[in-house]
Copies of this chain bind each other. A is one copy, B any other.
Amino acid sequence: MSDIITVVAPVNIAVIKYWGKRDEDLILPLNDSVSGTLDTNIMCAKTSVCARPEFEEDEIWLNGKKESFSSPRIRNCLKEIKARASAEKCVSDDFLKWKVHVCSENNFPTAAGLASSAAGYACLVTALAKLYKVKSNVSSIARLGSGSACRSVYGGFVRWHAGKSADGSDSVATQIVDSTHWPEMRALILVVGDTKKKTSSTIGMKISTQTSELLKHRVKYCVPQRTEDIIEAIKNKDFPKFAEITMRDSNQFHAVCLDSYPPFVYMTEVSHLIIELIHKYNDLYGTKVAYTFDAGPNACLYLLENEVPKIISLIKHVFPSSNPDSFITGLQCNEEILNSQLTSIKPHAKDLIKYVIHTKVGEGPTEVLDGSHLLNDKGFPKM
């Protein structure tokens, strides 16, 4: 049996947004957040790790490129996992001294607001935990890599508790419901752009925390109530309530970005056209679809399975593509012939949406046991 551990970990898309830190170094958030974890069969990070006596240094390859292992966030994750392993005494002291090789890749564009770092760090930390046989909960270690990574450690719907303690020990994720609770829940990722954003989340959060008066109000009054309400909506499978809170919270997060000084924006005019379309649809049929936008222009739509055919047909109609055959990726689905109310909506210019990923709420990180490691027998990247 190989000594290489390989794990896949999911992306998560927040419905109550994380924006602003109470501690920069420990990555402790100002407020609780809630997310859905998306199926790793469609979008995932995949990471292989191994530790051997002959490795001369810790090395990491990300998306086919050798990167520096000296990034404090990566080092921190490794250090904390080793500290846990040492405390739990599950591996030998020698094994802990060996250098590690890490190879990781995402099957979707990075740094475009698609939560790539969340999946990446959840994957890294889960793989290292398995390598060093750590048994305890590692969500707080994933958090040290990228705040929202702690939510990708569980499947279903997940809450990240802001916590109160200065050392961050209570800033952990917990599962609200697992992926079987609301099996009809689907997500459509509408990829608008995959260029690197102007203001990174880290910088943006810092500016907002320092300058936005509205953020203070959001943290103190809006988020606590919304968090309770959306958890209740998820537990009761109350889609209209879930959807309205999701949309309002996405809008408020982007409002806070604009209230920051200097202001910054993540949504583009295409993002706003998507918002407009969803409100038009919901006005006609009741609240059947929710949009949410992270720190980028791409939309994530949450909707139930039976709405998918109509929404996909509508998106194809309103946002025509030059490559209709490869426009929808991910889960299979039928389309539906649109009624005249919907076909009367005027299509926009071609290719405003590049492609659509059709996926669903899924499980947390899982070990890959079929031998498809990213490292070869010598412990170096296969490609």
* A residues adjacent to B (C-beta < 8 A): 213-214, 217-218, 221-222, 244, 247-248, 251-252, 254-263, 265, 268-269, 272, 275, 279
Contact of A272 among B244, B251, B265 (CB under 8 A): B265
Oligomeric state, in copies? 2
A218 to B214, CA, bound (A): 7
- Which residues on the B side are within 8 Å of A259 (C-beta)? 214, 251-252, 255
* Complexed CA–CA distance, A221 and B279 (Å): 31
- Rounded to whole Å, the gap between the CB of A382 and the closest CB of chain B is 41
Q: How far is the CB of A260 from chain B (nearest CB, A)?
A: 8
Q: How near does chain B come to A283, taking the closest CB pair, in angstroms?
A: 9
- A214 and B255 form a contact (CB under 8 A): yes
Identify which of A213, A247, A258, A279 gathers the most chain B CB atoms within 10 Å of its CB: A258
Report Cα–Cα, A252/B218, bound state, in Å.
14
CB<8 Å pairs between A and B, sample of 17? A213-B222, A213-B252, A214-B214, A214-B252, A217-B217, A247-B261, A248-B261, A251-B258, A251-B261, A251-B263, A255-B255, A255-B256, A255-B257, A255-B258, A255-B259, A268-B269, A269-B269
Residues in B with CB closer than 8 Å to A262 are 275, 279
Contacts of A269 in B (CB 8 A): 268-269
Q: Complex formed: what's the CA distance from A32 to B36 in Å?
A: 42
Ranked nearest first, the 9 interchain pairs of A and B with the lowest CB-CB distance are A255-B259, A217-B217, A255-B255, A255-B258, A262-B279, A251-B263, A214-B214, A252-B259, A213-B222
In the bound complex, residues from chain B placing their C-beta under 8 Å from that of A214 are 214, 217-218, 252, 255, 259
A102 vs B275: C-alpha distance when bound (angstroms): 42
Provide the residues of chain B in CB contact with A252, threshold 8 Å: 213-214, 258-259
Q: Roughly how many angstroms separate A265 CA and B273 CA in the complex, as a whole number?
A: 11
